[in-house]
Amino acid sequence: MSLTAAEIAENNARHATRMARKKAVIDAAIANATDEHGLLIVITGNGKGKSTSAFGTMARALGYGMKVGVCQFIKSRTDTGEEAFFGKLPNVEWHVLGDGFTWDTQNREQDIATAKRGWAVATRMLNDPSYQLVVLDELTYLLSYGYLDNDLVLDTLANRPDMQHVIATGRGATDALIELADTVSIIADEKHAYRDGVKAQPGIDF
Amino acid sequence: MSLTAAEIAENNARHATRMARKKAVIDAAIANATDEHGLLIVITGNGKGKSTSAFGTMARALGYGMKVGVCQFIKSRTDTGEEAFFGKLPNVEWHVLGDGFTWDTQNREQDIATAKRGWAVATRMLNDPSYQLVVLDELTYLLSYGYLDNDLVLDTLANRPDMQHVIATGRGATDALIELADTVSIIADEKHAYRDGVKAQPGIDF
């Protein structure tokens, strides 16, 4: 059904009124948000996009000249696209601190020792205000598997420098981590190419 | 309750057996995923992390030396961290194609004309196999608001070069876009600092 010129004009006018009203609501909300402090952002859930979301935010931070530290707690491979791209930039300190997944090592004591060594690196950054963003990639596993003392980790996060942002990623974030966070996104896995037999793609999956 | 040395050893042995079994299952799944083609990845939902996830994947792709095209369909500001960081890299072509949100323009006809101009830029990339990754940031709004012919958009996506990856972001992805996609993640907004009065932070939110 096609509209007459008068109907189109009326629709457009109604749209403009509705949008003006919406803008007033949004502007008021923006005016209300005046607080500033370092954010703890948690990206969890089973869907694709947790680590990449952290790396994309990192790109933003670097665009503003911020200094960024990255701890990858589980990964052991150092041939990823993200490390090739970010690893050598002057404002970036990049640490691959893992031995692979628990099903790769098959050794719980080794996993715990590795987690503690990795956390020592993170702790140094979380005590140093010169790092404006710290990415704790796959931190959640170290908490949910009990590889680290959960209270110690949460205390260190809570007591970090005021303006330091932190992004923690990984499946199954604990309730205590979610409680402490300022922003939490849960990524649901609606569909994944892998389940249709597509193998992990360089530049996309790693 | 503390465990005896024998109990700890038994737990560790049980852990190793369980993980060996898990590894066999995972290895079989990996061996099964042998197909390779360009992926259409859709990142939708109301949570924080959609565009940043696309930009993080882009960093991975650039780490592998891929050529990347970016269309930002809604955004009109060009002072974002992502553009400052990526915009001038030799393998990146970056286009800010929006006029702001509908409640900023308050003009539906202008929004439609802007969407069509933007889609022409995207179409050129989606017809050119030299772009190995195309990011269509905030595409979903152009479909759900009906600013573009949905069939035309889906046809263009479906008929793009075989090995070209595409990431489309934005809230409220249409069913047809989800159906066409290889991988879909839905990001739920569990918590957002903004609602606690924290204003949008440079380097994190833009």
Q: Which residues 161-200 of chain A have a CB within 8 Å of chain B? A: 165, 178, 181-194, 196-200
Q: What is the pLDDT of residues A10-48, one digit of tens each?
A: 989 999 999 999 899 888 888 888 889 999 999 999 999
Q: What integer pLDDT is reported at residue A99 of this predicted model? A: 87
Residue B95: name the closest of B113, B67, B110, B73 by CA: B73
Strands A92-96 and A68-72: parallel
How is residue A122 annotated by DSSP? H
Residue B186 has pLDDT above 90, yes or no: yes
Q: List the structure tokens of B25.
A: 């299952």
Q: Do B54 and A56 touch (CB under 8 A)?
A: yes
- Give the number of residues written for chain B: 206
Structure-token pair, residue A98: 């893992």
Query: How high is the pLDDT of residue A28?
Result: 87
SS3 label, residue A188: strand
Chain A (22-61) residues lying within 8 Å, Cβ to Cβ, of chain B: 22-23, 26, 29-30, 32-37, 39, 41, 43, 45, 47-61
**What was the ipTM of the complex prediction?**
0.88
Residue labelled with tokens 């915009």: B87
Q: What is the pLDDT of residues B90-120, one digit of tens each?
A: 999 999 999 888 888 889 999 999 999 999 9
Determine whether the interchain pair B49/A185 forms a contact, defined as Cβ–Cβ distance below 8 Å.
Answer: yes
**CATH for A37-196?**
3.40.50.300
Q: Does B203 touch chain A (CB under 8 A)?
A: yes
Tokens encoding B22: 């898990």
Interface test with A, best of B27, B70, B190 (most A CBs within 10 A): B190
Please report the pLDDT score of residue A1 as a whole number.
Answer: 60
The backbone torsions φ and ψ at residue B87, rounded to the nearest 5 degrees and listed phi first, read -55, -30
- Work out the number of other CB atoms within 10 angstroms of the CB of residue B12: 15
